[in-house]
Structure 1
Amino acid sequence: MGASGSVPGLVRYQPVIIEYKPGANGAIVANATIASPADGYTIALSTVGGQVLTPAINQYLKRKQEPDVMRQLIPVSHLVDVTLAIVANPNAGFSTLPELVSYAKAHPGKLNFATTSVGASDHLGLEMYNKAVGIDTVHVPQKGFAGALNATLSGETHYWLASLNQQIVNFHKAGRLRILAVTSLQRSPMVPEIPTAAEASNLPGFEVSSWQALFVRAGTDKNVVATLSSEFQKAARDPKLIDRINSTGMITIGSSPEALATKVETEYRKWSDMLETTRITVN
């Protein structure tokens, strides 16, 4: 997704044009932003997948960074975190995360997990979890969120690392899915009774989350970047906006450019190290 509009328009609360450019794990948005003038008029809404995971995978596979988002885009503000949850088919043979781990250890290679695609945050997140707890399960990639959801609901796959939203919560309450744990550091207000993976598996500090953030083309004037970031940080402190966003399962952040730059670098190292350690298949 890409958003384009003038900086003065943003500050004066005038309309901002939204241009939807999905596909290629964020590369289409990145290329459109990189091709635009470095004046702050075009802002890219990027995700952990496009901004961190794809560069880490390209490095792991020794592929050319094209586009080179870590060099050609610069941070504006980390907008939201997206809570992820390990969910399971209720007939999978386990009802808690420790039971999943015990079952997988007793039946190596028998359990499988769905993902939205190869190399996505749900794929790498579950590979990281599996490595941390020492289990071997089979990756069965699906076509997007709907594909992974349907595979888990039907029992084609046993578990999945899903974006936590009201739909997932409703399936959990109806008994069609089991939410075993969230992979954030804190429990989710949407399902406060559900433990974190760190709690349930005795993995202090374990965290896997998705996120969305804003970037502009490298070379944009620092004052323009500061103005943009300031306005988005103000919006992120609005109580009504916070309630609206948090009700969807996302957590409002609204960071400075510097904080986002640190997050991108930290996450890039984290996922690069995970890929080198696990040597998983991502192509």
Structure 2
Amino acid sequence: MTHTPIQRRTLLLGSLLLGAGVKAFASTDNWPSRPIRLVVAGSSGAGGDIFARLIAVPLSQALKQPVVVDDKPGANGLIACDTVAKAAGDGYTLLFAPSSSILLNPMIHPKLPYDTDKDLTPITQVGAAGILLIANPSTGFKNLADMVAYAKAHPGKLAYGSWGTGSSGHLAMEGIKARYGLDMPHVPYKTLVSEVTDLIANNISVGFTDIQSPIPHMHTGRLVGLGQTGSQRWPATKELPTLSEQGYKFEADGWYGVFAPSGTPVEIIDRLNDEINRFQKTDEIRQKIEAQNMIVPPSRTAKEFAASIKKDAAIWQSLAKTTDLKDK
């Protein structure tokens, strides 16, 4: 086939762009015309998976296309974030991640395989809450003071768990250790489910978890709550004092967020933002979010959510400076 000079220049430019690694984008005119993949930075059955499925159903209904949840646990969400950061910005691959994956990974891992700021575009926030300090009942601990007293009396003997190096649970406990001068080894788990399982089995005595996963086991007495982080007591744990109420200030709230690969058309970002914000405000979804021990955040545009992330990052970075929180 013979091409005109203009056609040849167009083909050459397209080849150069693809060769330079620039992502190719589909037209937004008929988006979405096929299923959307929602990559979750977490394991099946844990908080992130629960919330992702909570929004996937009404989002599927609003977009008239299936939203398929794809759990990718490990490395405090790094694997899931990397998957989406390298995906095409066409609106068919999205990320559902906790705040710690977005805010702390860049602080902890100096050589991430992606750039959080450049490769992931914020869409909207889902839920807001803290995290839980949990113990096996065999410890006899009832609160933060009990744990601190035991750890001081038994240096190096009380190991604690979190859902990974660089998680907000890791940061919270390292802050407690620094404040009270404790020697408590860290046991990072690949998934929250495995951490909670080991807490129940008493393979590990204490740990920080997300705000949802241990609650059924707290109700049956297989686990006991020692405290919760954040700016308030959360809907399903109203009886549990915050760490701030117990003398250790940790008022930074966590959240889940929806993100897209860089270059995703702004029309798609805004449509997703509008839909998710809208149904979070319905009584049905609000009640389901509160049943999972979180609250519905204020509605924000995508740009406002991006600005709030920068503000939160400064808070978390300040907290991280008081610890030896780094990739080892």
Report the Cα offset of residue 99 of structure 1. 2.2
Matched, 1:267 2:322: no
Matched, 1:15 2:65: yes
**Does the CA contact (< 8 Å) of 1:125 and 1:208 recur in 2?**
no
Q: Determine the structure 1 residue equivalent to 2:283.
A: 239
Report the Cα offset of residue 13 of structure 1. 4.0
Deviations 1:10-31 (A, max 9, x none): 6954123325151454444444
Report the Cα offset of residue 246 of structure 1. 1.7
**Does the CA contact (< 8 Å) of 2:37 and 2:70 recur in 1?**
yes
Matched, 1:250 2:294: yes
**Does the CA contact (< 8 Å) of 2:91 and 2:260 recur in 1?**
yes
Secondary structure (helix, strand or coil) at the match of 1:86 reads strand
Match of 1:177 among 216, 223, 226: 223
**Does the CA contact (< 8 Å) of 2:164 and 2:189 recur in 1?**
yes
Larger radius of gyration between Structure 1 and Structure 2:
2
Deviations 1:117-148 (A, max 9, x none): 33323222221233344433221233422332
Secondary structure (helix, strand or coil) at the match of 2:72 reads coil
Q: Determine the structure 2 residue equivalent to 1:119.
A: 166
Q: Note the residue ranges of structure 2 that are not aligned, 5 or more in a row.
A: 1-35, 40-58
Q: Determine the structure 2 residue equivalent to 1:193.
A: 239
**Does the CA contact (< 8 Å) of 1:34 and 1:72 recur in 2?**
yes
One-letter amino acid of the structure 2 residue matched with residue 216 of structure 1? A
Match of 1:45 among 96, 103, 120: 96
Secondary structure (helix, strand or coil) at the match of 1:43 reads strand
Q: Determine the structure 1 residue equivalent to 2:322.
A: 277
Structure 2 counterparts to residues 39-188 of structure 1, below 5 A? 39-58=90-109, 63-165=110-212, 168-188=214-234
One-letter amino acid of the structure 2 residue matched with residue 14 of structure 1? K
**Does the CA contact (< 8 Å) of 1:56 and 1:268 recur in 2?**
no
Report the Cα offset of residue 277 of structure 1. 3.3
Q: Distance in 2 between matches of 1:208 and 1:179?
A: 19
Q: Distance in 1 between matches of 2:66 and 2:113?
A: 28
Report the Cα offset of residue 35 of structure 1. 4.1
Q: Distance in 2 between matches of 1:136 and 1:232?
A: 43
**Does the CA contact (< 8 Å) of 2:74 and 2:190 recur in 1?**
no
Q: Determine the structure 2 residue equivalent to 1:230.
A: 274
Q: Distance in 1 between matches of 2:73 and 2:248?
A: 37
Q: Percent of counterpart pairs with the same letter?
A: 25
Q: Distance in 2 between matches of 1:48 and 1:202?
A: 21
Deviations 1:88-128 (A, max 9, x none): 12222422222222333343333221222333232222212
Q: Distance in 1 between matches of 2:74 and 2:188?
A: 16
**Does the CA contact (< 8 Å) of 2:62 and 2:275 recur in 1?**
no
Secondary structure (helix, strand or coil) at the match of 1:20 reads strand
**Does the CA contact (< 8 Å) of 1:52 and 1:268 recur in 2?**
yes
One-letter amino acid of the structure 1 residue matched with residue 215 of structure 2? V
Using the size of structure 1 for normalisation, the TM-score is: 0.82
Q: Determine the structure 1 residue equivalent to 2:26.
A: none
Q: Note the residue ranges of structure 1 that are not aligned, 5 or more in a row.
A: none
Q: Distance in 1 between matches of 2:191 and 2:292?
A: 19
Using the size of structure 2 for normalisation, the TM-score is: 0.72
Q: Distance in 1 between matches of 2:83 and 2:135?
A: 38
Q: Distance in 2 between matches of 1:262 and 1:137?
A: 36
Deviations 1:195-229 (A, max 9, x none): 111111252xx235542111122233434422321
Secondary structure (helix, strand or coil) at the match of 2:150 reads helix
One-letter amino acid of the structure 1 residue matched with residue 183 of structure 2? D
Question: 41-50 or 192-201, which moves further after superposition?
Answer: 41-50
* Cα distance change, pair 35–100 in 1 and its aligned pair in 2 (3 A): closer
Secondary structure (helix, strand or coil) at the match of 2:239 reads coil
- Structural RMSD (CA): 2.9
Q: Determine the structure 2 residue equivalent to 1:216.
A: 260
